[in-house]
Amino acid sequence: MTKLLVEGVSRRFPGRKGAGPTRALEPMTIGVAQNDFITVLGPSGCGKSTLLRIVAGLDRPTTGRVLLDGHEVKGPGADRGMVFQSYTLFPWLTVAENIAFGLAERGMPEAERAAIVADFVSKVGLKGFEHHWPKQLSGGMQQRTAIARALANDPEILLLDEPFGALDTQTRGLMQEMLLGIWEREKKTVMFVTHDIEEAIFLASRVVVMTARPGRIKADITVDLPHPRDYHLKTTPAFSELKARLTEEIRAEAVLAATEH
């Protein structure tokens, strides 16, 4: 069953001072099935973040529309949780208060909130840090809190915009396993944007590859690797084969993007 439908969505940014408009996204159609984990893979500047922002309702498509459960997306809302690449925890709230933010906005009573918060604090492994300020946390811990904050709201779909992009390789690997673990247990619909090929394969049941600007869908590849997955998967032949294939796909685009800019 299709949970999210991106239907003929394109985006142009108006040009400045005589320059023509920038075509960020060419019209594209993507369907995301319920409880599917799809990654959108593309070189930097290919419009993949624009696509995600349009799904989140933070940006408007120039043409086309986004449907979630058959309802058109008109703006941002709690049904589409988002984790950003930049650290967006509210610095004046503690870890627990950050996680409870969406629940509090909804008017949920304190006691109910506390139970949900405690649950997610342990899911992302932040027990003992509930009363820390974001500034006292490492980058990885901040992003774990951000994931917990988005999930605590129980969104229909979770959107992640290169959430581990600023983390070191080791931390990133651990975060991928944590996120995948949560998805394997809870079954959520997830759309994850990245430029990291290994990350795209490891997490996804489907990888959508985008071209360099203007962004179009270049390939839509099913990742048929078994669950539950852990870091061992990254060294299996099946994984390497997929990685080789995607590397070819994305390399041509990266070269194109690099010569253009």
**Site for other proteins, rule CB under 8 A:** 56-58, 75-78, 80-82, 84, 86, 88, 90-93, 101-102, 105-106, 133-136, 146, 149-150, 153, 159
Shortest reach from residue 82's CB to other proteins, in Å: 4
Nearer to other proteins (CB atom), residue 128 or residue 226: 128
State how far the Cα of 127 lies from the Cα of 23, in Å rounded to an integer.
45
Shortest reach from residue 84's CB to other proteins, in Å: 6
Shortest reach from residue 258's CB to other proteins, in Å: 27
Shortest reach from residue 132's CB to other proteins, in Å: 8
State how far the Cα of 74 lies from the Cα of 59, in Å rounded to an integer.
10
Centre a 10 Å sphere on the Cβ of residue 241 and count the other Cβ atoms it contains. Answer: 10
Nearer to other proteins (CB atom), residue 22 or residue 85: 85
Q: Please, is 43 exposed, middle or buried when counting C-beta atoms within 10 Å of its C-beta (0-12, 13-18, 19+)?
A: buried
Beta bridge partners of residue 160, listed in sequence order? 83, 192
Nearer to other proteins (CB atom), residue 20 or residue 75: 75
CB of 55 within 8 A of CB of 30? no
Nearer to other proteins (CB atom), residue 21 or residue 77: 77
State how far the Cα of 13 lies from the Cα of 36, in Å rounded to an integer.
30
Shortest reach from residue 120's CB to other proteins, in Å: 13
State how far the Cα of 193 lies from the Cα of 63, in Å rounded to an integer.
21
Nearer to other proteins (CB atom), residue 86 or residue 240: 86
Handedness of CA 75, 24, 210, 254 (dihedral sign): negative
Shortest reach from residue 261's CB to other proteins, in Å: 24
Nearer to other proteins (CB atom), residue 74 or residue 251: 74
